[in-house]
Each structure stands twice: as structure tokens, then as C-alpha cells.
Amino acid sequence: MPTQLTAEDARQSLNAHVAAKGAEVFDKYGPHIGWKELQQILKDDDCVRYPCEIVFDSTRLQPGELANPVPKGAQPGDGFTMFVHPLFMTQLAQVPAVVLYQLVLVNYGVFASADDAETYGAAALGLSKDEYYARLCSLADELASCGCA
């Protein structure tokens, strides 16, 4: 009789998968992923499952939120608009870290967790999860300190 998979098994499997996909991004576009490379990643079907464009606009963000992908239609294939806080318009080098975190929602929807997002972003940027998390926290702190949150 086959072994029953648990929810924890599924979670671990997804996390291992996003780690592998993040490593593929790093191998293909790294070691430095900046604004230019991010634009290439967003157009690469191997990296981003559905069309996704970046818009610097905070009207669709919750207070303190750095970015958020919003579906353009009823089906994922309709694409997504990645709303990024306008503070980062003048810090394009920081945008990849912010957007890579959110891409797991574009690629995997509600099945993706914050841990999956950290795993993917860290692997894509060639960082440890702790380094990546610290970078995101620093960016969130910067947003809060400027009164932009």
C-alpha cells in the first residue's frame, strides 16, 4: 500500500521546488541581479509562470507593504501587475529583492508561504535566507522611517 503524503510533505516539497527554481534563476541571471536582469527574468517563462509587469504605485499596497502582485483578470494567464512602492523608483537596485519575494505568489498562488518566498528570493540572489530576510527587513524599516508606509 502506498504511503500517504501529509500536508507537511507537500509543504517541504514545494519549498524544495522553489529553492531549486531560485537557484536556476541565480545560475541563469546571477551572480548580480539588478534592474536589467529583473526585466529579463519577468519575460522568461522558465522563471515566471504568468505575464507580470512592474508598476510603481502604492495605491494597491497595504500599509508597510513593499510590493504585491495583483491579478489582471479572472485567470492567472491574464497576467499580473506587480505593484511596487514608489520609494523604490529611486532605488532600482533594491527592486529585485522585493519583487523576487512576491514572484512565488505569481508562480504558485495561495499555496506559497512566506517561507517559500524567502527560500526562492534568497536562492535567486545567492544569499542565505537570513541575509535575504535581513535585507527585506531593512527595506521595510526604510519605508517605515520615511513615513511612506
Q: How do residues 12-48 score in pLDDT, each as one tens digit? A: 999 999 999 999 999 999 999 999 999 999 999 999 9
d(CA 72, CA 95): 21
> Residue 110: its pLDDT value, please?
87
Q: Give the integer Cα–Cα distance in Å for 136 and 78.
A: 28
Residue pair 77/50 in contact (Cβ under 8 Å)? The answer is yes
Q: What is the pLDDT along the chain (149 residues), one digit of tens a residue?
A: 567 878 888 889 999 999 999 999 999 999 999 999 999 999 999 999 999 999 999 999 998 899 999 999 999 999 999 999 999 999 999 999 999 999 999 999 988 999 999 999 999 999 999 999 999 999 999 988 876 65
pLDDT of residue 2: 67
Q: Which of 134, 114, 146, 124 is nearest to 46 (CA)?
A: 124
